């Protein structure tokens, strides 16, 4: 009985470690894909912004990641939800949409991936 218990415990431990390792690898790969996407954009000054991945959800070969961008030394912030697709060599960012029901407006230059911000009615458009 004792031998059976320890074998079962060892199997459960191995499966748990394998499952956690895959989840961590997916999250690291998703973060790296988002960084690659942002660094590939010449219209962004990523040195002027802090960013934090708030949440990553993986569902099979699809994933979403919520990223908060904050202007360094200021109060301005924006949240973007990225949609990703698993590829043979990692994850690919398909789209980025502002969180909170943003518009389809591409947003001001420098907004990370479609960062259209809804302005109050009557507010002048930024140049």
Alpha-helical regions (H) of the chain: 2-39
How many Å apart are CA 81 and CA 45, to the nearest integer? 19
What does the pLDDT average to over 36-64?
Answer: 90
In a domain, 63, yes or no: yes
In a domain, 125, yes or no: no
Task: Answer for the pair 39, 46: CB distance below 8 angstroms, yes or no.
Answer: yes
In a domain, 112, yes or no: no
**Counting Cβ atoms within 10 Å, is residue 69 exposed (0-12), middle (13-18) or buried (19+)?**
buried
Count CB atoms within 10 A of the CB of residue 91: 25
Higher pLDDT, residue 52 or 119: 52
Taking every pair of Cα atoms in the chain, the longest distance, rounded to a whole number of angstroms, is 76
The residue assigned the tokens 């398909």 is 94
How many domains, the chain? 1
In a domain, 56, yes or no: yes
Q: Which domain holds residue 70?
A: 2-98
CATH of the domain at 16: 3.10.450.630
Buried b (16+ CB within 10 A) or exposed e, 21-35: eeeeebbebbeebbe
In a domain, 58, yes or no: yes
In a domain, 76, yes or no: yes
**pLDDT, tens only, 76-111:** 889 999 999 999 888 999 999 998 654 444 444 455
pLDDT bucket at 116, cuts 50 / 70 / 90: very low
């Amino acid at each position: 009985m004792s031998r059976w218990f320890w074998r079962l415990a060892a199997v459960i431990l191995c499966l748990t470690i394998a499952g956690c390792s895959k989840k961590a690898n997916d999250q690291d790969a998703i973060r790296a894909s988002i960084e690659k996407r942002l660094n590939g954009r010449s219209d962004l000054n990523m040195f002027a912004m802090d960013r934090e991945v708030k949440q990553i959800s993986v569902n099979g070969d699809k994933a979403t990641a919520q990223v908060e961008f904050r202007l360094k030394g200021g109060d301005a912030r924006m949240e973007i939800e990225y949609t990703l697709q698993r590829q043979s060599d990692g994850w690919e960012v398909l789209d980025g949409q502002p969180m909170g029901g943003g518009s389809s407006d591409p947003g001001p230059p420098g907004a990370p991936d479609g960062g259209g911000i809804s302005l109050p009615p009557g507010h002048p458009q930024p140049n």
